[in-house]
Each structure stands twice: as C-alpha cells, then as structure tokens.
C-alpha cells in the first residue's frame, strides 16, 4: 500500500485558502519527483486510490527535522516556500510533501505526528 | 500568464486536513489532465512559479454549475469525490481543479467567486 504524506506547519495559522494552495504545491512537487524516480510507485498509488494524509508540525525547526528524516530514509520529499504576496513573510517555509511512497516507511518516519 | 484554480465547497466545513487533502487531489488531477492535453501550458506555468488560487462555492449545485462552465469554456477540469472514510458522506463532491490555464479565461469564468 502506498500513500502520500503532506506535513504542514500548524504554528503559521494560515488561512484556509493559503493552506489549500500550499498543500497542493507540496503534493504536486513531491508527485513530480516520484514520477521521475519511481514511476511504478505512482502507478500503484493511483490504482489504489491516491491516498493522501496531512500531518502537522509546530514550527520551522520541526518541519526541517522531519523533512530531513524523510530524505534520510530515501523518501522523495519536496519542501515549499511561500512566495509571500499575502499573509506570510516572503520565503516562509510552510509544508513539505513526501511520496507517494510505501505506507510502512512513511509511518516509521512520520507516525509520531498528529493529523492536521 | 497561467494559473491553476481550485474551487472548494465552503458549506461542508471540512476540517483543515480534509480540506488540504481534497484540494491536493483536485490540483493533481487537473494537472495530470493538462499534462496530457497541453504540456506546453504546464511548462509555461511552472516557469512562472505555478500560481494557484483557491475559490469557494456554497454548495453542491454551485460546484457543479461552475465545473460545467469551466468545461464549456474548454478548460480542463477535474471534480473530486471524497472516499468518505471520515467527516463526510461517502461520495460527497468536495471541490474541483481547473487548469493550469490562461489567467484571462479562468477569470472570465470564475472571477465572480470569492477567495476561500
């Protein structure tokens, strides 16, 4: 079983539209990375219904910590910075996307984090 | 200039994680559609920074209305139904993604809708 995990900073208190847009950036960026490296995983994930899970961290330090852990585990991850036209300081790191990748590995790395 | 528009039902009062996941489904599904039909638009949109805008409607009828308007205008659109494991009735239509497509056409069709 495969899923995609999106990890979002809860401390930024993004508005709902900003949250949706930033999460979509993360999802799409990680998807493209896996499309190149592991197209067979993309196919399997799509067959299974494209499961996505959104988890939260409480600050930039924790975002980077888990982003690094994901990469160290070999999971394709892409971190997102906001262009900063509204709401946030330009260049604020908001979230990252991980995978789609196998569910067990994702749970080992990100299983401690709570659902957003 | 190109952008992607995501139109979300505000009346469902989805939790933040559900909102982020459903919007990501819409974004990715519409992206894949355009990748096949108009890869040159994907390239231009990515060069320009992958602008995304999230708008709201107030019910299923309005969601379908604007989904149909988008398709009638020739914009690649993909509507999303929730699998319904949590929060929503299984099969609830939650949102759709439109494009990336040229900003002027999107604004003509969806310009009346407010930001989520």
Q: How confident is the model at residue A90 (pLDDT cuts 50, 70, 90)?
A: confident
Contacts of B35 in chain A (CB under 8 A): none
How far apart are alpha carbons A49 and B26 in whole angstroms? 13
How far apart are alpha carbons B88 and B8 in whole angstroms? 14
- Identify which of A27, A56, A116 has the shortest CB distance to residue B27: A27
Give residue-wise pLDDT tens across range A62-76.
Answer: 999 999 999 999 999
Q: How confident is the model at residue A77 (pLDDT cuts 50, 70, 90)?
A: very high
Q: Does the pLDDT of residue A85 top 80, yes or no?
A: no
The pLDDT, as a whole number, for residue B14 is: 94
> What pTM value is reported for the model?
0.96
How confident is the model over A14-30, as a mean pLDDT? 97
Rounded to two decimals, the ipTM of the complex is: 0.95
How far apart are alpha carbons B40 and B103 in whole angstroms? 15
- Binding-site residues on chain B for chain A (CB distance < 8 A): 4, 6, 8, 15-17, 19-21, 23-28, 31, 49-50, 52-56, 83, 115-116
Is there a contact between A17 and B116 if contact means CB atoms under 8 Å apart?
yes
The pLDDT, as a whole number, for residue A59 is: 97
HEC string for chain A: CEEEEEEEECCCCCCHHHHHHHHHHHHHHHHHHHHHHCHHHHHHHHHHCCCEEEEEECCHHHHHHHHHHHHHCCCCEEEEECCCCCCCCCCCEEEEEEEEEEHHHHHHHHCCCEEC
How confident is the model over A5-28, as a mean pLDDT? 96
Smallest CA–CA distance from A13 into chain B, residue: B16
Domain boundaries, chain B: 2-115
Task: Give the architecture-level CATH label for domain A2-115.
Answer: 3-Layer(aba) Sandwich (3.40)
The pLDDT, as a whole number, for residue B83 is: 80
Tens of each residue's pLDDT in chain B, 116 residues: 999 999 999 999 899 999 999 999 999 999 999 999 999 999 999 999 999 999 999 999 999 999 999 999 999 999 999 887 678 888 999 999 999 999 999 999 999 999 99
């Amino acid at each position: 079983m495969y899923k995609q995990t999106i990890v979002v900073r809860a401390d930024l208190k993004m508005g709902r539209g900003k949250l949706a847009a930033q999460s979509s950036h993360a999802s799409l960026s990680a998807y493209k990375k896996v499309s190149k490296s592991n197209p067979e995983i993309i196919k399997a994930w799509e067959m299974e219904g494209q499961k996505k899970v959104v988890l939260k961290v409480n600050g930039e330090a924790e975002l980077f910590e888990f982003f690094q852990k994901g990469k160290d585990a070999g999971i394709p991850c892409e971190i997102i910075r906001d262009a900063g036209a509204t709401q946030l300081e330009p260049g604020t790191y908001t979230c990252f996307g991980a995978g789609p990748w196998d569910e067990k590995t994702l749970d080992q790395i990100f299983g401690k984090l709570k659902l957003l």
